Amino acid sequence: MSGQETLPALHFTIVSCSLDPDSRSRQLAFAAQHSLQAAGVQVTLIDLRGVLLPGFDNHDIYRHPQLPQLHRVIREADGVLLATPVYNWGVAGAAKTLVEVTGSTEAERGLTSAWFDQLVTFLVAGGLPHSYMAHTSFASALMLDFKCVINPYHVYATGRDWTGSEWSAQVTERLEKTLRVKIELAERLRGRTYRSDWEL
């Protein structure tokens, strides 16, 4: 016996936020899942096409049958990856709805935000190169509201990076580096002693 504590495998949740049946960001999500599992990380992948959250109304949405699972896999993960397209210079509306409902704190419903202190990484598919930073206002909101730690590496791929169903070597390299950083950050953040709540 070495005397060193053996930590359980990391567990990440990947959420594909595109409702497009031919989504390129979903391809990034599946590729990330494969690479992380090959690295020994346990992965839960949620495809929002199979969840179809209604618009956030702060009422009926809380009765959605899959909300408890969504809340749990985000809250309990060592890190979350959000795979999203860029629409109108921002992330997909489904991504915002996901955060609105799982980020709620409703005492009467026994809900506390699932996002506090979460380590978040973005996998983004856009149409043109100039939308490279389109997800950053959303990332800032996660950081300010929930004290999320935002991975400084992210993937941004445009239509120009694809040839048919394949993407360029540069996208593969960026994805692999982004995931390596994700794993290292998650390992180092395991020892955090603080826990955030609603605060400035």
- pLDDT 10s digits, 115-160: 999 999 999 999 889 999 999 999 999 999 999 999 999 999 998 9
Q: Buried (b) or exposed (e) across 43-79, using 16+ Cβ within 10 A? A: bbbbbbeebebeebeeeebeeeeebeebbebbbebbb
Band (pLDDT 50/70/90 cuts) for residue 2 is very low
According to the model, what pLDDT value does residue 1 have?
A: 35
Separation between Cα atoms, residue 150 and residue 139, nearest integer Å: 7
According to the model, what pLDDT value does residue 39 have?
A: 97
pLDDT digit string (tens) for 21-48? 999 999 999 999 999 999 999 999 999 9
CB 160 within 8 A of CB 130: no
Separation between Cα atoms, residue 6 and residue 122, nearest integer Å: 29
Is residue 4's pLDDT more than 60? no
CB 56 within 8 A of CB 95: no
**Torsions phi, psi of 47, nearest 5?**
-105, 115
Distances (CA, A) of 38 to 32, 34, 41, 42, 97: 10, 6, 7, 9, 31
Band (pLDDT 50/70/90 cuts) for residue 193 is very high
| Fold of the 11-189 domain | Rossmann fold (3.40.50)
